[in-house]
Amino acid sequence: MTDAALVNAVITATEAKTAALQDLGVLDAENGLAATGTTTDAVVLGASQRADWPLLHAYAGTATDLGGTIGRLVYAAVSESLRAAAGERR
C-alpha cells in the first residue's frame, strides 16, 4: 500500500465505525448526540509492505475494492460487537 492508501484505509475504517454507531443509535453519554466514537477507540492497520508483492494499492477509499472491503469488515465487526455487548447487559 502506498502512504496515501494507508491513510485512506484508516479514514475508511473510521467512517465505517461511525456509520455502525449511528445506525445502531449509539448516543454520546455526555451530550446525547450521535456518537462518532469513544475515548478508547484505536485503529491498527497491518500491511506487509513486501516489495515482491505484485499488487500495489495506490488508494483505499470506499470507491476502491480494498477500501470497500475494509469498510464492510469494520462495519460488521463494530455492529456485531455492539450487539453482543448489548446482549450481555440484558
At residue 27, the 3 state secondary structure works out as strand
Q: Secondary structure of the chain: what % helix, strand, coil (to 5)?
A: 50, 0, 45
What is the pLDDT at residue 90? 57
Say how far apart CA 76 and CA 4 lie, in whole Å. Answer: 24
Beta-bridged to residue 34, according to DSSP, are: 27
Are 56 and 2 spatial neighbours (Cβ–Cβ below 8 Å)? yes
The ranges assigned to domains in the chain are 1-10+56-90
Q: In terms of Cα–Cα distance, which of 85, 64, 66 is closest to 20?
A: 85
Q: What is the pLDDT along the chain (90 residues), one digit of tens a residue?
A: 889 999 999 999 999 999 999 999 999 888 999 998 877 788 888 887 777 877 889 999 999 999 999 999 999 999 999 999 888 765
Q: What is the pLDDT, as a whole number, of residue 13?
A: 96
